[in-house]
């Protein structure tokens, strides 16, 4: 299982929000590139990056900071936030971003999603973020009537690189990953699932491991790393099967 350290960028800085709320922000650093190097040096094999300003503003807002981060690290980066056009996707790919995450567009612009998946096989992931089991979009400010499994099944024939599933109620509050919902989604689809939201300690990593045979290939963690409640090196060891 892959541990994805999260780097959320707002105003060019590394921050974390609680349940996606812009008024619940903690700043963890002024240099996303330096943060990326730190996680790389501690053993990360992927980074999960979000342009929070892009997510709220519906277009990229932190291109300069993201570019510096991309040039600073050698490991792959998956990126989401404000990606609403093929031109934006291509611009990020030209910048060297390895995987792009489409979230709001999945429900608001399905034609774009189909075109992106067709044009860039293996490089487009879908970000499905749920409140009470129902998907939320527009930086989590708008809840829909669609479920993650329903949407993922519809797009499965186009072979997304992964489904990144976030339980919004647990994001940034360190209550543990929603194992039931994550496992149910993995059982319902034949697409790799990356869990997100709620990691608080090494015990949450251990709890996810039984879901790996179902197709849960990774987990994103942010606040627990930044607060020191989770050691990245230990998490990587445990996720690789190194726990006793």
Per-residue pLDDT reduced to its tens digit, 138-166: 655 667 778 888 999 999 999 999 999 98
Calculate ∠ Cα 96-205-220, nearest 5°: 25
| Residues annotated as catalytic (active site), given as ranges | 8, 129
CA dist 198 and 60 (Å) reads: 26
CATH topology for 2-239 is TIM Barrel (3.20.20)
Segment (H or E) for 154? helix 148-155
23: pLDDT strictly greater than 50: no
Cα–Cα distances (Å) from 219 to 56, 158, 160, 206, in that order, read 23, 23, 17, 11
CA dist 71 and 76 (Å) reads: 11
Greater pLDDT, 55 or 63: 63
| Percent share of the chain, pLDDT over 70 | 85
Q: How confident is the model at residue 216 (pLDDT cuts 50, 70, 90)?
A: very high
98: pLDDT strictly greater than 70: yes
């Amino acid at each position: 299982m892959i541990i994805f350290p999260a780097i959320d960028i707002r105003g060019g800085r590394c921050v974390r929000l609680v349940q996606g709320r812009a008024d619940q922000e903690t700043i963890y650093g002024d240099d996303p590139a330096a943060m990326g190097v730190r996680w790389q040096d501690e053993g990360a094999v992927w980074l999960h990056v979000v342009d929070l300003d892009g997510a709220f503003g519906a277009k990229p807002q932190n291109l300069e900071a993201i570019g510096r981060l991309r040039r600073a690290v050698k490991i792959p980066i998956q990126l989401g936030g404000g990606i609403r056009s093929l031109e934006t996707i291509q611009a990020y790919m030209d910048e060297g971003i390895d995987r792009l995450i489409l979230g709001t567009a999945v429900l608001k612009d399905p034609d774009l999603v189909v075109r992106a998946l067709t044009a860039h096989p293996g490089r487009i992931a879908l970000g499905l973020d749920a409140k009470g089991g129902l998907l939320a979009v527009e930086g989590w400010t708008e809840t829909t009537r669609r479920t993650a499994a329903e949407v993922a099944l519809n797009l499965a024939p186009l072979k997304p690189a992964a489904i990144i599933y976030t339980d919004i109620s647990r994001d940034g509050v360190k209550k543990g990953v929603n194992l039931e919902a994550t496992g149910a989604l993995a059982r319902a689809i034949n697409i790799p699932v990356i869990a997100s939201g709620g990691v608080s300690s090494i015990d949450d990593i251990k709890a996810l491991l039984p879901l790996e045979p179902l197709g849960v290939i990774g987990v994103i963690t942010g606040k627990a790393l930044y607060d020191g409640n989770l050691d990245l090196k230990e998490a990587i060891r445990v996720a690789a099967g190194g726990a006793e």
